[in-house]
């Protein structure tokens, strides 16, 4: 075999391989997400610039944002919060009440299920330590709320007793705003407990 034929064969083989890679990348593009993609989606929501968008189009767009957000791993979610918290807040605040509920139900609530399963799979002593840390994080997070958002003393006492008894139960029944405030802490807890799941 001549040298030129070997190089030609190698070049054709490489071209076929790269063509195959390009096809696979194009086919799987909708199955992959990254912080920049989510940031772009929340910043370019059509209704943010004042456009009137039909409900079904808003719903499809919201599902696209949620799907891409849920594909992020905990580190990517943290990176997104650090780089685009203002954009995320603006997007969330632009949603209707029902849309906000769907967003929280599909992004924050699944973390509660994972944390709950992880806690149940942990050794008792490890679980106690983690739940104590979770309670402290939740109290600290709520303590950092704006003065106007602070609960009354009676409400605070009730909330603290609920957190002490069962933080997951408290979080399942918490208002949307509270869940969104505690989402970063829940994502951290998710990272800590995922190694203990069955």
For residue range 24-82, list pLDDT tens digits in order. 656 655 567 899 999 999 999 999 988 899 999 999 999 999 999 999 988 899 999 99
Looking at the predicted structure, is the pLDDT value of residue 182 above 80?
Answer: yes
Residue boundaries of the structural domains of the chain: 1-31, 34-97, 108-198
Query: Quick check: 191 pLDDT over 60?
Result: yes
Q: What is the pLDDT, as a whole number, of residue 70?
A: 94
pLDDT band at 105 (very low <50, low <70, confident <90, very high): very high
**pLDDT at position 154 over 60:** no
Return the pLDDT at 86: 94
Q: Are 196 and 121 in contact, with CB atoms under 8 Å apart?
A: yes
pLDDT surpassing 80 at residue 18: yes
In this prediction, residue 198 carries a pLDDT of 46
Query: For 108-148, what is each residue's pLDDT tens digit?
Result: 999 888 888 888 888 888 888 888 887 777 777 655 555 44
């Amino acid at each position: 075999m001549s040298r030129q034929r070997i190089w030609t064969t190698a070049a054709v083989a490489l071209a076929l391989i790269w063509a195959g890679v390009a096809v696979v990348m194009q086919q799987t593009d909708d199955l992959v997400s990254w912080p920049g993609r989510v940031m772009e989606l929340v910043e370019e929501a059509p209704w943010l610039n004042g456009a009137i968008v039909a409900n079904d189009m808003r719903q499809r767009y919201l599902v696209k944002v949620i799907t891409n957000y849920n594909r992020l791993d905990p580190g990517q979610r943290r990176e997104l919060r650090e780089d685009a918290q203002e954009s995320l807040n603006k997007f969330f605040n632009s949603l209707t009440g029902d849309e906000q509920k769907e967003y929280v139900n599909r992004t924050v609530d699944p973390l509660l299920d994972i944390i709950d399963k992880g806690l149940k799979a942990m050794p008792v002593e490890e679980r106690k330590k983690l739940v104590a840390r979770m309670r402290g994080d939740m109290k600290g997070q709520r303590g950092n709320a704006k003065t106007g958002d602070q609960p009354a003393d009676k409400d605070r006492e009730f909330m603290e007793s609920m957190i002490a008894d069962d933080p997951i139960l408290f979080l399942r029944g918490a208002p949307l705003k509270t869940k969104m405030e505690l989402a970063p802490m829940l994502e951290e807890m998710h990272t800590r407990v995922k190694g203990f799941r069955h």
